[in-house]
Every structure is written in C-alpha cells, then in structure tokens.
Amino acid sequence: MPQMNMIQALNSAMDITLGRDPAVVILGEDVGYFGGVFRVTDGLQRKYGTHRVLDTPIAEGGIIAASIGMAVNGLRPVAEIQFADYIYPGYDQIVSELARLRYRSASAFAAPVTIRTPCGGGIRGGQTHSQSPEALFAHVCGIKVVMPSNPYDAKGLLIAAIEDDDPVLFLEPKRLYNGPFDGDPNKPAVPWSTHAKGEVPDGHYTVPIGKAAVVREGREVTIISYGTMLHVAEAAARALGLDAEIIDVRSIVPLDVETLVTSVAKTGRCLIAHEATRFAGFGAELVATIQERCFWQLEAPIERVGGWDTPYPHAFEWEYFPGPQRVGAALKRVMEAR
C-alpha cells in the first residue's frame, strides 16, 4: 500500500471522484493553474480541464453561492476556501441557504456541496491564517462537519463527503498537511510532529461520516480529540505512561455519541482537547454530552484543554497552541482527582 501525506491523500480523493463522476467539479481561488496555495489540487486542472477545475475570483460568498447553484442543477461541487479564516464572507450563504435547502424545499432539492478549507495553526500564520471555526458550523442545522487527523481518514472522508447528498464542511488541519517541519528554523519541529505519511490505498474507498475511531484502547482515562490535537494528546499520554483510551472524533456533526459514551463509562475519567478557542468551543458540547450520559460512571470532573481566549498570535504561537505540556497537566489533574 503506498505511503501518502495528507496533501497527496486529499488530491487522490478528488482525482478519483472527478474520474468516477462527471458531475463532480472543483472551484476556488487558485485551485486550477496554481494547484492551490498548499498544492492540494495540483495537476487536477491539467488532467480534467478548466471546465471541471475552475479558478474563481477572490469572493468567498460568490464561491459558495455558485456552488449552491451548481448543486441544485445536478452537479457535485467541491469548493475550496483558501483558509478557514476567509470563510466568513460566505457564512450567510452557508447558514441561510446551503444548510437549509433540503429542509425548506421539503427534499425537492438536495445540496451535495463539499466545502474544503485548511484550518488551525502551527505554520506561523498569525491571527488571520490560523483559526479553527468548527464550533460555528457545528451549531448550524443541516450541514455536516468533519476534520481528519491522518492521510487514510482524509482520503476516505473526503470521498464520502463528495458522494454525500448533504452539504459537508471539510476542515483540513494545515499542520498535518506535510508532517514535521524539520530543518526549517522558522517552523520548528515539535515532539509530536512525526506523522508525515501513512498507508493509503490508491483506489476508491470511504470512511463513514458520523463514526468516531478508537485510535488506542485503554482503561485509565478517555482522551477525546480530533485533527492536530489528536497527536498532541497521544504524545502527552505516552509521556505520562497512561493506559489511555484515545478517540478521534473525526465527524464533529453528526457526532458518534455511542462510541464516546461507551469509552467514558468504561474508564470513568475523561479529557477533551481541541486547538480552537476554549470558551464556547466544540469541547463544551462534548463535555455536556458526556456529563448527561455518564454522570454516575465519572470518577473525576471532565477536563477540557483548548486554545486561549484571544486571537491566534504570531509571535507566541507555541505559547498559544495547547501542546503536550498543557494536555499533560490536565491529564494529571483528571488522574489525581478523587
């Protein structure tokens, strides 16, 4: 089985869906000739032509609006928003139109739109290139939200998203695109940055949306995370020598509540970690969900680790980023509580 990084896996997913279904089209800023700012769509316009892989103006609202029009007329658009930080001009189109289309038309229209966008920090992008807005979209009824943590899941989830008849926001942690940044003094390597590539099948396969993954089984504590933070949490658990059960949420909406509850009921302790701002982040919903269903099995208060409640800084990125030390400190608290 070939080794791919996340960029290669995502590119393979779009290549396969473009080849299998003539209704699939890709659109966005610089996705064609340039191959995307991170080269995720590299080579696709050369292979499928400008009528299938379209460069658009810098107008996120227009990209989403055009995608909705394509979808209701039988296409399956895959729209790229160059950075998640730039998605807000298209937010009204997503919330008021795209997410509501099936409901308001009594299923007369479907909206098979996939919105791809890089999210998170770790590349010294500062406040306008490092945001993680998953909680804003998880609150919106009618749109699915996913975030992979590895190349295998990235490809399978993206194929599943493109083939889904409902809109999917596909968040891609840019820190995981290429793996470690060893040798670049401006992008320092960190202890958990060892996940550049993984085994990914060449052909078509899907990873089901709505199903979490038990990455590692354990009995002492449940760690729930997604995206880049999954690897941070794994590193923190290893450093402490904990027999931790680690769950990759993968699908934020719909959420696999059963897998989370089963694990916490077994271990009795839980830590939730995400990169986004802590206050009103998606971790709050995870805490509430587990508290409601596992109250009598909990042996300690649920711990939650997230980004600070400030804009994402440029100069102090690694102080802001919830790294292994902060996750480890929270793990110690949850294990020592009685």
Catalytic residues, which ones? Answer: 129
Output the DSSP codes for 111-166: ---EEEEEE--SSS--TTS----HHHHHTSTT-EEE--SSHHHHHHHHHHHHH-SS
Q: What are residue 77's DSSP bridge partners?
A: 25
Instruction: Convert 39-65 to b/e letters by CB count within 10 Å (16 or more is b).
Output: ebbeebbeebeeebbbebeeebeebbb
The set of residues, in sequence order, having a beta carbon less than 8 Å from that of 289 and lying 6+ positions away, is 255, 257, 260, 261
| The length of the chain, given as a count of residues | 338
Question: Between β-strands 270-277 and 144-146, what pairing exists: parallel, antiparallel or unpaired?
Answer: unpaired
Question: What is the spatial distance between Cα 171 and Cα 198, in angstroms, rounded to a whole number?
Answer: 19
Position 113, amino acid? V
Residue 198, classed as helix, strand or coil, is strand
Q: Tell me, what amino acid is at 202?
A: D
Outline where DSSP puts E strands in 156-267: 168-173, 198-199, 213-216, 221-225, 244-248, 251-253
- Residue 3's nearest CA partner among 213, 156, 152 is 152
Q: Quote the CA–CA distance of 178 and 318 in Å, as a whole number.
A: 18
Contact 210, 233 (CB under 8 A): no
